Amino acid sequence: MKEVPRRSANRERDRAGRVTVVGIGPGGIDHMTTKAIHALRSADSIVGFASYISQVRSLIKPGVQVYCSEMGHEIDRASQALKLASRGKKVAVVSGGDPGVYGMAGPIVETASKLGMKVDVFIIPGVTAATAAAASLGAPLMSDFACVSLSDLLVPRRKILERVKAAVKGDFVLVLYNPQSRLRREPLRFVHRLLMKYRKPSTPVGIVTAYARDGEKSVVTTLDRMLDHEIGMESTIVVGNSSTRIFNQRMITPRGYYSSSSSRTNQDSHEQ
């Protein structure tokens, strides 16, 4: 078999199309990784939800093709990106937060599989809403936690409630994505009733809205007062577990450092 010269092989790779799914984090270029910024600057086609595209517009080179669409058209965006890549384009798909957490990584990989398209797909992680909210609230995720999206557009409400109930029974800190919208309010109310059944009314709760964007707001409250606060699609809710507490308007879920260090000290004293 004839060996392909290395320089020729490199040129062939450069001409080949690919899809890079870029996690842009919670909002604002300063929350993006260097690799994510480079991917957007080097792309010759950009695909994404219109609102996310607007957040990174300053990184897009003049003359680059930009394909915007609205929420709910994820499969269309995935198909568009894959078709462009199959024609040799270097496509960056903009995904809010982390692409692998309720983001565009799933639609891209799944659509490629459905269509049988063997296009190179690269995924660049980003800061997801759970860790962004935690940074604003203090240290609520220091112990095990579970994330559940309350959007029932793709997942039956019964399944959502089952997952919440399992997380609550396991004493996980619970992070709620997509808690409610102007028209979709019932799932959050069902979940709140479930939480009130299994957790103390005084359980700490944090609500972070529009982190790192205009209108950013962070509230630390309690489970019984949770629904008294403004909550929307841009909100992320963190519900503490049985050990979470509030100090100086910050949530703390102890990891066990003090109890374990105390045990070691006592053990050392006994051994001496």
Q: What is the pLDDT along the chain (272 residues), one digit of tens a residue?
A: 455 555 544 444 445 799 999 999 998 899 999 999 999 999 999 999 999 999 999 999 999 999 999 988 999 999 999 999 999 999 999 999 999 999 999 999 999 999 999 999 999 999 999 999 999 999 999 999 999 999 999 999 999 999 999 999 999 999 999 999 989 999 999 999 999 999 999 999 999 999 998 899 999 999 999 999 999 999 999 999 999 999 999 999 999 888 765 555 444 444 44
Bridging pattern class, strands 173-177 and 235-239: antiparallel
- Amino acid occupying residue 114: K
Q: Is residue 259 a part of any domain in this protein? A: no
Give the per-residue pLDDT at 178.
Answer: 96
- Domain of 163 in residue numbering reads as 130-252
CA–CA distance from 132 to each of 42, 50, 101, 137, 200 (Å)? 27, 22, 13, 9, 25
Take residue 226 and report the two structure tokens written for it.
């949770």
d(CA 104, CA 126): 12
Name the domain boundary from 100, 127, 154. Answer: 127
| Whether the Cβ atoms of residue 251 and residue 206 lie closer than 8 Å to each other | yes
Q: Is residue 3 part of a domain?
A: no
Domain for residue 30, yes or no? yes
Which structure tokens are listed for 116?
Answer: 């049988």
Q: Are residues 142 and 67 in the same domain?
A: no
pLDDT of residue 261: 54
Q: Same domain for 221 and 139?
A: yes
Copy the structure tokens of residue 121.
């797909």
Q: Do 70 and 167 sit in the same domain of this protein?
A: no
DSSP state of 25: B
Going across the sheet that includes 217-222, the strands are 145-149, 173-177, 235-239, 204-209, 217-222
- pTM, whole model, 2 decimals? 0.89
Within a domain: 70? yes
175 and 114 within one domain: no
What is the spatial distance between Cα 266 and Cα 271, in angstroms, rounded to a whole number? 9
109 and 25 part of one domain: yes
* CA pair distance 158, 269, nearest whole angstrom: 53
Q: Is 77 exposed, middle or buried (0-12, 13-18, 19+ CB in 10 A)?
A: buried
The reply to whether 264 falls in a domain is: no
Boundary (domain end) residue, out of 127, 144, 164 = 127
Please state the separation of Cα 206 from the chain's center in Å: 17
Same domain, 192 and 95: no
| DSSP reduced 3-state for 229 | coil
The CATH number of residue 157's host domain is: 3.30.950.10
Same domain, 144 and 185: yes
Residue 266 lies in a domain: no
- Asked if residue 138 and residue 114 are part of one domain, the reply reads no
At residue 12, the pLDDT reads 45
Number of separate domains in the chain: 2
Looking at the structure, do residues 122 and 139 belong to the same domain, yes or no?
Answer: no
Of 78, 97, 127, at which residue does a domain stop? 127
Both 123 and 158 in a single domain? no
How far apart are alpha carbons 147 and 128 in whole angstroms? 11
User: What is the CATH number for 109?
Assistant: 3.40.1010.10
Q: Are residues 162 and 104 in the same domain?
A: no
Which pLDDT does position 270 carry in this prediction? 45
Same domain, 225 and 142: yes
